[in-house]
Amino acid sequence: MSFIAMSTRHQYVDLLASLPVLPVMPFGREPLPISAIRLEHRLEALSAGHRDSLQKLETLLDWQYLGLDVSTEAYLQRYRQAAPQLAEHGVNDLLVSMLERHTLVTALRRRRSGEPAPAFGERWGFGPRLAHISAHWHAPLFGVGAVFPWLSEAWEHLEQDRPRELERLLMEECGRQLTRARQYDRFDFREVVIYWLRWRLIAAWQRYNAEAVERRLQADIERGLGDYGALF
């Protein structure tokens, strides 16, 4: 192995060593071991190119950058522009796996609502199986249930209108995928991104729980106040 390859492989050993261990799965009650501000500060150690790739990932994953008026084609165009750099930095597959999972759930929702199969050549999602899904639109789990074992449970949650259970299932699968993607003998940009994605996953679940608790509390208050709720 060349010195350059070795140095790249261990490029961020100090950065990763400075980051606290995250829970394996996001559903525990312990708080995040590092705050968003502190994590952002640590990530300043990334090179300029890697910081740019991380920003591109964020703009492709965060709804705050997308907005309701961003069309599918506009999003796909944004992805196509970022993909070569993300691939060069060894993280494009991580993003595609997440987007393909979203595509499969979108397909389940579309079929459940009675929508027809996407037209041939239509760009409506991500992953190498778009044509297969369209061609097997009415087959059980689009004929890919063996490839994605979680898809059967996702369909059950959709059928039974269990959004919270579906959300948890998707987060669990994302957590498993990120764990499988880790290479424990490497300390490169890919490992930093995996840590960052796992941190986001845990933070999202905790935020989801907090928002759910707040909604339940508000509902209890309104039930308790009855008509007097209009006074507050």
Q: What is the 3-state secondary structure (H, E, C) of 13-66?
A: HHHHHCCCCCCCCCCCCCCCCCCHHHHHHHHHHCCHHHHHHHHHHHHHHCHHHC
Average per-residue pLDDT in the chain? 84
Query: Residue 214: pLDDT above 70?
Result: no
pLDDT over 90 at 141, yes or no: yes
User: Two tokens at 194?
Assistant: 């995996």
Distance CA 35, CA 41 (A): 10
How far separated are the first and last CA of the chain, in Å rounded? Answer: 69
pLDDT digits (tens, 9 = 90+) for 61-73: 886 655 556 677 8
Q: Which two tokens stand for residue 85?
A: 């750099």
| pLDDT surpassing 90 at residue 83 | yes
Give the global pTM.
0.84
Which distant-in-sequence residues (6+ apart) come within 8 Å of 154 by Cβ? Answer: 104, 105, 108, 166, 169, 170
Is a pLDDT exceeding 80 seen at residue 111? yes
State the average pLDDT over residues 76-98.
95
| Element counts in the chain: helices (H) and strands (E) | 10, 0
**Distant-in-sequence, close-in-space partners of 93: CB < 8 Å, separation ≥ 6:** 181
pLDDT attached to residue 161: 92
Could you read off the pLDDT of 10-55 as tens digits, one per residue?
899 999 999 999 987 777 777 889 999 999 999 999 999 999 999 9
Question: What Rg, from alpha-carbon coordinates, does the chain have?
Answer: 21
Question: What residue has token string 């027809």?
Answer: 116
Model pLDDT, residue 226:
38
Dist. CA 208–CA 216, nearest whole Å = 12
